[in-house]
């Protein structure tokens, strides 16, 4: 079924004759006649009632016109939806994020994006860095925020920021007045840490092995929010990147004290899959995160 032939049929009906349709389209009436005849041959039925002075469609002709109008409406709808996607007026963005990122930095970026693109759905999945890398590689997430630099050949690190670890204590805790805290100090007080597969726990284990001092956490939990809340009670300490507890630090519920051991910083990385071209809404939100992390890095370097 030729779109050109269907259009010629439609224009003939609208104009009232093949000659008038030809004038409107700038083609010979004989060309229109040949295209309509080809349609009739393809359908196996006449589309016009012959012998009339005006154009009169058969039932087959009416069906063909109805199909053409439906086709044009669908194309117009597709064009409008493509334009909406191009301008990021609609669509969906999927990203993976670690729990420690859920704070002012993340929330303000998402809020600003939503205000600028209210019809775009943002799907944020809070999970581990390992799971985020898997979802980015599988194209389940457009991009992700992870707490390390993945050694994965198909992952592109768009931008990264180094953050030192801090001992988090309540203002009433015995360690609160110290300028720096050592592992020797930490082992003297109850501590709350993540499970062994947490990156922070692995970094601490390396420092413990060097010092031959080993932390035995009183509480092991896989929630950074719970670590912050428990530390704020004053009964335990915890170790986190400073950005993970900024709200509690800002309102005075927690103090962030440097560790005096040489412990590797954690690296916050914004990642995408190599070769994946992000367009429209995903690209705009990714750009917003890149800009936000660039400001973050500039502040951290001061």
pLDDT tens digits for range 124-177 = 999 888 899 999 999 999 999 998 878 889 999 999 998 888 999 999 999 999
Q: Which residues of 255-294 are buried (b: 16+ CB within 10 A; e: fewer)?
A: bbbebebebeebbbbbbbbeeeebebbbebbbebbeebbe
Among 54, 45, 130, CA closest to 96: 130
pTM of the model: 0.67
Among 244, 267, 243, 266, CA closest to 158: 267
Fill in the DSSP letter of residue 10: H
Q: How far apart are CA 134 and CA 116, in angstroms?
A: 30
The radius of gyration of the chain's CA atoms, rounded to the nearest angstrom, is: 32
Task: Please tell me the predicted confidence (pLDDT) of residue 154.
Answer: 93
Task: Please tell me the predicted confidence (pLDDT) of residue 23.
Answer: 86
Confidence of residue 92 (pLDDT cuts 50, 70, 90): confident
User: Which pair of tokens denotes residue 155?
Assistant: 């992952």
CA dihedral 246, 252, 254, 256 (to 10 degrees): 70
Q: How far apart are CA 132 and CA 119, in angstroms?
A: 25
Instruction: Tell me what the mean pLDDT of segment 180-203 comes to.
Output: 91
Task: Please tell me the predicted confidence (pLDDT) of residue 301.
Answer: 55
Identify the helix (H) or strand (E) that includes residue 77: helix 59-86
The 10s digit of each residue's pLDDT in 34-44 is: 888 888 888 88
CATH numbers and ranges of domains, the chain: 3-87 (1.10.10.10), 92-161+266-301 (3.40.190.10), 164-265 (3.40.190.290)
Confidence of residue 271 (pLDDT cuts 50, 70, 90): very high
Task: Please tell me the predicted confidence (pLDDT) of residue 259.
Answer: 87
Output 9 or 110, whichever has higher pLDDT. 110
∠ CA 111-132-221 to the nearest 5 degrees? 90
Confidence of residue 80 (pLDDT cuts 50, 70, 90): low
């Amino acid at each position: 079924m030729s779109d050109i032939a269907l259009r010629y049929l439609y224009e003939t009906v609208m104009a009232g004759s093949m000659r008038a349709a030809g004038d409107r389209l700038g083609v010979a009436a004989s060309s229109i006649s040949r295209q309509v005849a080809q349609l009739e041959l393809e359908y196996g039925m006449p589309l016009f009632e012959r012998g009339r002075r005006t154009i009169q469609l058969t039932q087959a002709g009416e069906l063909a016109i109805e199909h053409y109008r439906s086709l044009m409406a669908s194309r117009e709808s597709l064009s409008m939806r493509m334009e909406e996607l191009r301008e990021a007026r609609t669509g969906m963005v999927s990203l993976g994020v670690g729990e420690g990122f859920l704070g002012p930095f993340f929330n303000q970026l998402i809020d600003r994006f939503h205000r600028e693109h209210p019809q775009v759905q943002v799907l944020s999945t809070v999970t581990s860095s390992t799971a985020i890398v898997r979802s980015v590689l599988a194209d389940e997430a457009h991009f992700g925020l992870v707490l390390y630099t993945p050694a994965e050949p198909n992952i592109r690190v768009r931008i990264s920021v180094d953050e030192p670890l801090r001992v988090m204590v309540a203002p009433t805790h015995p360690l609160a007045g110290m300028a720096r805290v050592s592992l020797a100090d930490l082992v003297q007080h109850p501590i709350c840490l993540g499970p062994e597969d947490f990156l922070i726990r692995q970094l601490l284990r390396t420092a413990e092995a060097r010092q031959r001092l080993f932390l035995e956490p009183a509480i092991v939990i896989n929630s950074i929010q719970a670590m912050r809340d428990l530390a704020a009670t004053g009964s335990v300490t915890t170790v986190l990147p400073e950005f993970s507890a900024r709200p509690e630090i800002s309102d005075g519920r927690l103090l962030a004290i440097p560790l005096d051991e040489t412990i590797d910083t954690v690296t916050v990385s914004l990642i995408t899959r190599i070769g994946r071209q992000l367009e429209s809404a995903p690209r705009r939100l990714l750009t917003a995160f890149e800009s936000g992390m660039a400001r973050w890095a500039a502040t951290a370097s001061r």
